[in-house]
């Protein structure tokens, strides 16, 4: 198995540290700018995973009771973690209702050049059927299977024929079979390590997959079914009323949108934009119910009752703040805050160039929440 890393870098929804010319570290982001009052992106139980892919992961896990009955401990979070590392959940590709991914995902040509970490040529095994190359192979699909490996499992995946590594149902099923092997107990850490290492013989790769699995498992519930309290709904409505308002570095206060300060890491001069930054939006929304929050996201994390990241989204209630930073236990490093509204969704002012909007709780750098509403 040869991993393909498909990462897209961009500016974060930057935190506001001191409002006077303090720069912030940029982080990976997976969101595009949206128009005002957007509908939420469909997600599965874990934030940021397309629902169609989530469905495939869960079906693959269920199918193992028949296809690999001695396998233990396989869960959707492990399959999602593999797909995250291999193709960032097929980011940039369309996923049809039948599971077909277009355009097809094709990894680097494995000609020994070093692309994709490969230094040993892998000669063609599929006549170019899946990878378009009849001289060398390339890993294919969202789970990045070598054509020969996928072909070896295709009859078990679809006895009727027609298995396709660029169909998420087939790819997830193949990954499940591959990880289960001859009946592994993936609850056992040594067997789990061996299963992922077989997928790609790299300890760093195994650790990356396990890290994503932990993140997805922590975000595995879309949240409790507790309805918003009257006070929480007022805070949420206040934030919603600002949909479409531009992001302004340092902008926003208890009275509403305002000009900000100079200047963000990306160069936005908030003095020229009337709007909100992430923490400014929180200050405004909670002021509508008489709560005066600190101005900075990192300080807001200390308000009220802290909800640890390890508790996952299931511990959150509508009206809680959700925080993001490189360490879930280092509040001073928090760089972003949003308002949780339930269902795995939040309202936030993500970054310069965007607008106040609703989106899925980010599936990276989740640092827990804080509850200030009684």
Q: Is the pTM of this model over 0.75?
A: no
Same-domain check for residues 55 and 191: yes
Same-domain check for residues 253 and 316: yes
**235 assigned to some structural domain:** yes
pLDDT along the chain (374 residues), means of 10: 34 35 30 34 53 93 94 94 93 94 93 76 88 91 94 92 96 97 94 95 94 76 69 95 95 96 88 96 98 96 93 89 93 96 89 91 88 92
The four Cα atoms 100, 105, 111, 114 give a dihedral, to 10 degrees, of -150
Q: What is the pLDDT of residues 329-342, one digit of tens each?
A: 899 999 999 999 98
Across the strands, what pairs with 130?
none
Same-domain check for residues 203 and 337: no
What is the domain-level CATH number for residue 283? 3.90.1720.10
Give per-residue burial for 179-194: e unless 16+ CB within 10 Å, then b: bbeeebebeeeebbbb
What is the domain-level CATH number for residue 148? 1.10.530.10
Radius of gyration of the chain (CA): 22
**How many angstroms from the chain centroid is the CA of residue 146?**
25
Domain that holds residue 242: 230-371
Task: Label residue 350 left, alpha or beta by phi (over 0 means left) and psi (-120 to 50 means alpha).
Answer: alpha
The confidence score (pLDDT) of residue 1 equals 54
Query: Which of 170, 194, 218 is at the close of a domain?
Result: 218
Number of folded domains that form the chain = 2
The confidence score (pLDDT) of residue 37 equals 36
The confidence score (pLDDT) of residue 46 equals 41
- Environment class of residue 67 by beta-carbon count within 10 Å: exposed (0-12), middle (13-18) or buried (19+)? middle
**163 assigned to some structural domain:** yes
The confidence score (pLDDT) of residue 17 equals 35
């Amino acid at each position: 198995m040869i991993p393909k890393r498909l990462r897209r870098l961009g500016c974060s929804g930057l935190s506001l540290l001191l409002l006077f010319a303090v720069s912030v570290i940029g982080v990976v982001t997976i969101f595009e700018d949206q128009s005002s009052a957007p509908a939420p992106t469909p997600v599965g139980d874990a934030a940021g995973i397309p629902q169609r892919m989530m469905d495939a992961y869960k079906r693959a896990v269920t199918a193992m009771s028949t296809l690999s009955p001695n396998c233990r401990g396989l869960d959707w979070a492990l399959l999602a973690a593999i797909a995250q590392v291999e193709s960032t959940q097929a980011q940039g590709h369309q996923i049809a209702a039948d599971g077909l991914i277009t355009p097809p995902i094709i990894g680097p040509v494995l000609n020994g050049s070093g692309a994709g970490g490969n230094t040993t040529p892998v000669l063609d095994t599929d006549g170019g059927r899946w990878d378009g190359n009849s001289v060398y192979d390339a890993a294919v699909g969202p789970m990045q299977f070598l054509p020969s490996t996928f072909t070896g499992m295709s009859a078990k995946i679809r006895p009727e024929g027609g298995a396709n590594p660029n169909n998420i149902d087939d790819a997830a099923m193949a990954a499940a079979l591959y990880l289960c092997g001859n009946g592994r107990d993936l609850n056992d850490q040594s067997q789990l390590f061996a299963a992922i290492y077989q997928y790609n013989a790299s300890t760093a790769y195994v650790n990356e997959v396990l890290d994503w699995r932990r993140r997805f498992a922590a975000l595995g519930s879309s949240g409790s079914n507790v309805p918003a309290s009257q006070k929480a709904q007022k805070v949420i409505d206040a934030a919603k009323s600002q949909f479409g308002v531009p992001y302004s570095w340092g902008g926003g206060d208890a009275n509403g949108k305002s000009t900000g300060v100079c200047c963000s890491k990306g160069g936005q001069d908030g003095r020229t934009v009337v709007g909100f930054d992430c923490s400014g939006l929180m200050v405004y929304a909670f002021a509508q119910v008489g709560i005066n929050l600190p101005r900075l996201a990192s300080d807001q994390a200390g308000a009220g009752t802290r909800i640890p990241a390890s508790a996952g989204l299931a511990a959150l209630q509508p009206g809680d703040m959700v925080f993001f930073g490189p360490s879930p236990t280092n509040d001073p490093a928090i760089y972003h805050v949003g308002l949780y509204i339930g269902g795995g969704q939040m309202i936030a002012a993500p970054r310069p160039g965007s607008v106040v909007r609703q989106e899925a709780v980010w599936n990276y750098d989740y640092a827990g929440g804080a509850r200030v509403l009684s």
